Structure 1
Amino acid sequence: MERIPAAPRAPNEIDFWRGFALITIFVNHVPGLVFERLTFRNLSLSDSAELFVFLAGVALRKLADGPVAPLSAPALAFRLEGRAFAVYVAQTLITEVAIAMLAAASIVYDAPFMLDWHNASAVFNQPVEAHIGLVLLTHQLGYFNILPLYVVLMFAAPVIALLHRAGGAALLLPLSLALYAYALVFGVNLPTWPVEGSWFFNPLSWQLIFCLGFCLSGPHGFGALDPARRRALRLAAAPVLVAGAFAALVHYSPNPRFVPEPKLLFMFDKTFLSPARILHALALYAAFAGLYGLAAASPAWKFLSAPAAYFSMLGRNSLNVFCAASILSLAGQIARFVYGGHVATDALIIILGAAIMGLVAWASEWRARLPAPSAARSRSP
């Protein structure tokens, strides 16, 4: 029987915000870009990294309650670990491409200092140890260090899904909170090697917002609240958002010398995902959850539907688009080094980057819609 290619799912709120996160990550990963000032992290204690990981938890919940719900525990683990391995392969590939780009740029532009960009120097000074570290994820390039976190979270996904089966949030959240508290109170993180240090995104801490996304996306999650409760949640979130915007605008951050122990509980630390960042991220999600549906029902939708479809297309193909965005952001950094940081250069970087990301998403869906090879052969004369 001929396989009928599945049509891509219709634009929706989750894919829209995931696409939004991908675009803002791309912009924020080109330091100094004029348009970087327009991203929401300039008015927030949290940024697109929290949004991306939260939505990854949401996506896992939809998968756990949907396609993999009937599977046995071993089959579920096999299915989810396959996704984790795909992310691992993607991380390895884009890291090697980034290393090649830095090496080529250093030769073409006679700029050997570019070999030191983004923690890449160990690859050229200690190639044996560094390549072992790249395979083990213990050596990570700057701006290429969020997928290693995602790899760890996806390898842990079967445990999360099975805990959810066993007891739901009542079992999963206390364990997640306990691990988070352990990391913050004792400052525990995964080590890096061969360069001494620790992971920029600490999986022991960041698993909490992943699990929150998983737990809050169920039938009683933000998106399922009735209008009255949603309004109440937005009112509660408002002072948190105002305080976060003020702190971001004045560049306020608690001085580690003057906060009590354990200090990570009171800092705005991104590596350990301090409580202030999680609280502000949750306030953002509470404030904006459901607005996609309101916009879709408004007269303005005829103007908003095209950009919403574009963002949703990016979100549907998040892994491929994220890999492209990572490479494009490094290309943008090199372009700004060569041509300078002018408004015209920055605008061209944004336009080309967004267009290529869209092309990657479109090509991913076009490829998925191709007939199966066996079906194509059966129609040949």
Structure 2
Amino acid sequence: MNLPAGRSIDVDFLRGLVLIVIALDHTTGSVLSRLMLHSYAFCDSAEVFVFLGGYASAAAYTAVLARGGPSGATRRFLRRSLEIYRAYLFTALLMLLAGGMLALLNTNKAMLDMVDWHQFVQSPFHELVGIALFRHQPYLSSVLPMYVVFALCVPSLIPFSTRMPAIALAGSALVWVLAPWLAPLVPVAHAGDWAFNPFAWQLMFVLGALCRLHPVTEAFQVSTLGRKLTHLAVAVALAMALAKLFFFVNPLPGEMKENLSIVRVVSFIAIAWLGAQAVRVGAVRWLAQRLPSIVTVGRTGLVCFVAGTVVSLAVDTLTFHGQIHGARGLMVSLAGDGATIVALIGIATLWQRLDARAKTERMTVQAREFVRMQFVRMTRN
């Protein structure tokens, strides 16, 4: 992408859209989910989410670096890592509480098995310690430990990628290739328990960071080579869509996502290039300006991710597709999709307002303290 410095409405819109899609994708009976990226590509919203996370992290680091220097930027991402860790613990707790509620109501047994409730009941202390140490990661919380690690790496990754982008990319690609053999190093009870092998998925994060630090210029995108790459991306995306729709209709093996297989990377890069063209011609900005509520979701990303886990689980339970069939089932599923979208937008809007109010109150307190100090100095003189 070739975007101006500072916060980008394009990126915030895409992040908001991806967060909504993630919530829909985790609702079993969702109708809209069937129209999303995973239905016609070999990648899904996860790749987009991690890529944009790397892009946003690079933008945030460089912005803080300009104001507070390297030490300030490092402290900011140490705090960010702690924030994500707290969000992970809170999400895991919410999943366990949801499991307890499902068990109490004796409903949605398929989801009950996924949230590790039975394991928690059998050995609560062991389960809680395992969650705190990343050894056990309840349903929908497994992406956050990966982000804890990535946030800790940002103060080293971004300066290195700024100076030596080719080496950074080559090193990231090498780690990605070795990821299946490096997987046992992650702190989980079983390597396959971490749905996102961080040694593999760091490639998406690094690609996002490099695109922010070394954006492809508009001149290159419209050059002869750039146009050829666009044609190639269209051909690859169409070929993979046809393959996904007509040949690979069944779910692909989980290890392909866990270890970020080559077909997923190629599929994502083709779609990302086409997305960059949509940004270049202003299509994404045009949508963002007309759908500001989705931008708000993108700007409250961590909050909406955590909230989305609960919303998707609640909607999945209330609209459980195994209980309702036919036209009525379709209407219930669509209503569930609408409720998911409205809930996330409502949570994002409320959180933004509360955050703005808190900032205003802090500024007021600081201003009062400044005036008081000035008055004290004047009276002493």
| Residue-by-residue CA offset, 1:128-173 (whole Å, 9 max, x unaligned) | 21111111122112333222222221122222123235x2313322
Partner in structure 1 of residue 297 of structure 2? 314
CA distance in structure 2 between the aligned counterparts of 1:283 and 1:21, rounded to whole angstroms: 17
Consecutive unaligned residues in structure 2, runs of 5 or more: 1-5, 370-381
CA distance in structure 1 between the aligned counterparts of 2:182 and 2:249, rounded to whole angstroms: 21
Q: 1:222 to 1:144 in 2, by over 3 A?
A: farther
> Of residues 354, 361, 375 in structure 2, which corresponds to 1:367?
354
Is 1:242 aligned with 2:238? yes
Is 1:337 aligned with 2:320? yes
* Contact 2:15-2:298 within 8 A present in 1 as well: yes
Amino acid at match of 2:238: V
Partner in structure 1 of residue 308 of structure 2? 325
CA distance in structure 1 between the aligned counterparts of 2:41 and 2:165, rounded to whole angstroms: 28
Q: 1:176 to 1:111 in 2, by over 3 A?
A: closer
Work out the percentage of aligned pairs sharing the same amino acid.
Answer: 24
Paired residues for 1:48-87 under 5 Å: 48-69=45-66, 71-87=68-84
| Residue-by-residue CA offset, 1:338-375 (whole Å, 9 max, x unaligned) | 96461222122111211111112112221232212461
Instruction: Give the structure with the larger helix fraction.
Output: 2
Helix, strand or coil: the match of 2:281?
helix
CA distance in structure 2 between the aligned counterparts of 1:92 and 1:23, rounded to whole angstroms: 22
Partner in structure 2 of residue 157 of structure 1? 154
> Of residues 94, 98, 108 in structure 2, which corresponds to 1:97?
94
CA distance in structure 2 between the aligned counterparts of 1:351 and 1:74, rounded to whole angstroms: 44
Is 1:212 aligned with 2:207? yes
**Which moved further from structure 2: 169-178 or 66-75?**
66-75
> Of residues 133, 151, 155 in structure 2, which corresponds to 1:136?
133
Is 1:269 aligned with 2:256? yes
Q: 1:293 to 1:215 in 2, by over 3 A?
A: closer
Partner in structure 2 of residue 201 of structure 1? 196
Helix, strand or coil: the match of 1:270?
helix
CA distance in structure 1 between the aligned counterparts of 2:284 and 2:324, rounded to whole angstroms: 44
**Which moved further from structure 2: 334-343 or 82-91?**
334-343
Helix, strand or coil: the match of 2:248?
coil
Partner in structure 2 of residue 5 of structure 1? none
Helix, strand or coil: the match of 2:195?
coil
Q: 1:158 to 1:253 in 2, by over 3 A?
A: farther
How far 1:244 moved relative to its partner? 1.6
How far 1:202 moved relative to its partner? 0.2
How far 1:185 moved relative to its partner? 5.8
CA distance in structure 2 between the aligned counterparts of 1:225 and 1:164, rounded to whole angstroms: 21
How far 1:215 moved relative to its partner? 0.6
Consecutive unaligned residues in structure 1, runs of 5 or more: 1-8, 257-263
How far 1:192 moved relative to its partner? 2.3
Partner in structure 1 of residue 345 of structure 2? 358
How far 1:24 moved relative to its partner? 1.0
**Which moved further from structure 2: 72-81 or 105-114?**
105-114
> Of residues 213, 216, 219 in structure 2, which corresponds to 1:221?
216
Is 1:349 aligned with 2:336? yes
CA distance in structure 1 between the aligned counterparts of 2:219 and 2:119, rounded to whole angstroms: 48
**Which moved further from structure 2: 203-212 or 136-145?**
136-145
Tell me the matched-pair count.
Answer: 355
CA distance in structure 2 between the aligned counterparts of 1:30 and 1:99, rounded to whole angstroms: 18
Q: 1:53 to 1:196 in 2, by over 3 A?
A: closer
Helix, strand or coil: the match of 1:183?
helix
CA distance in structure 1 between the aligned counterparts of 2:154 and 2:52, rounded to whole angstroms: 14
Is 1:173 aligned with 2:169? yes
Q: 1:297 to 1:332 in 2, by over 3 A?
A: closer
How far 1:304 moved relative to its partner? 7.2
TM-score, normalization by structure 1: 0.83
* Contact 1:223-1:289 within 8 A present in 2 as well: no
CA distance in structure 2 between the aligned counterparts of 1:281 and 1:44, rounded to whole angstroms: 8
Partner in structure 1 of residue 9 of structure 2? 12
Q: 1:200 to 1:304 in 2, by over 3 A?
A: closer
TM-score, normalization by structure 2: 0.83
How far 1:294 moved relative to its partner? 2.8
CA distance in structure 2 between the aligned counterparts of 1:53 and 1:171, rounded to whole angstroms: 21
